[in-house]
Amino acid sequence: MFNIRLMAIIVNLDVMMARRKMSLAELSEKVGITMANLSILKTGKAKAIRFSTLNMICEVLECQPADILEYRED
């Protein structure tokens, strides 16, 4: 039997946005992706993220990828 494991990657985008006092609309405009796609990422419902998108988010928020993505074991 296969074990079904929940995603262990936690997205802390909302934390970094709050620290930078940046709205979803502002980040969306600066990164160049839709608010809907950013919202999916922010809520942890995304199944993947492109490195180019992660790069732009980090550039705009002046942070490291580890500030946004976190691995937690169950």
In a domain, 60, yes or no: yes
Our separate counts of H helices and E strands in the chain read 5, 2
Structure tokens of 61? 């928020």
User: What pLDDT does 72 receive?
Assistant: 87
Domain count, the chain: 1
In a domain, 30, yes or no: yes
User: What pLDDT does 73 receive?
Assistant: 81
pTM: 0.85
CATH number of residue 55's parent domain: 1.10.260.40
Quickly count: other Cβ atoms within 10 Å of residue 30's Cβ. Answer: 14
Task: Give average pLDDT by consecutive 10-residue segment, the chain, 74 residues.
Answer: 66 95 97 95 92 97 96 82
User: What pLDDT does 7 receive?
Assistant: 64
Domain that holds residue 63: 9-71
In a domain, 2, yes or no: no
CA 36, CA 10: separation in Å to the nearest integer? 19
